[in-house]
Amino acid sequence: MKTEKNERQGLSEKLKDRFVILKPHDTYKGKYKVDLLYVEGYGELLFTIRSLLYLCINSLENGDFETYSADRNPKNNVQDVLELISRMIPIEEGDLLDELRRMEKNYQ
């Protein structure tokens, strides 16, 4: 009995060390978040967002969607990237910048 408990405990520890990509979401119960994007700051984040947007725009304007195989749907891929971009936009920080601008106007 003790051996089985030790094995389960050992397996639990191994799983904790190996399941690192998906982390339980703080707000949405039953959902997970993925922390794979690391940037040096807001400048790099915004540059990455812009690059992804340009990639999607170029794909939609110049993409040869007829030559894709039947198991791929490039328009869905572009949509997935656009949804990712929308989650990357630092909205809260934008609100802070607006508040700082209002404060700056009050000091003039």
SS3 76: helix
Q: Residue 83 has what pLDDT?
A: 92
**pLDDT band for position 30 (50/70/90)?**
very high
The CA–CA distances, whole Å, from 93 to 23, 98, 102, 106, 108 equal 23, 9, 14, 20, 23
Among the listed residues 55, 51, 82, 77, the one whose alpha carbon sits nearest the alpha carbon of residue 65: 77
pTM of the predicted protein model: 0.67
**pLDDT band for position 22 (50/70/90)?**
confident
4 phi/psi in degrees, rounded to 5: -65, -40
What is the tens place of the pLDDT at every residue in 75-97? 888 899 999 999 899 888 888 88
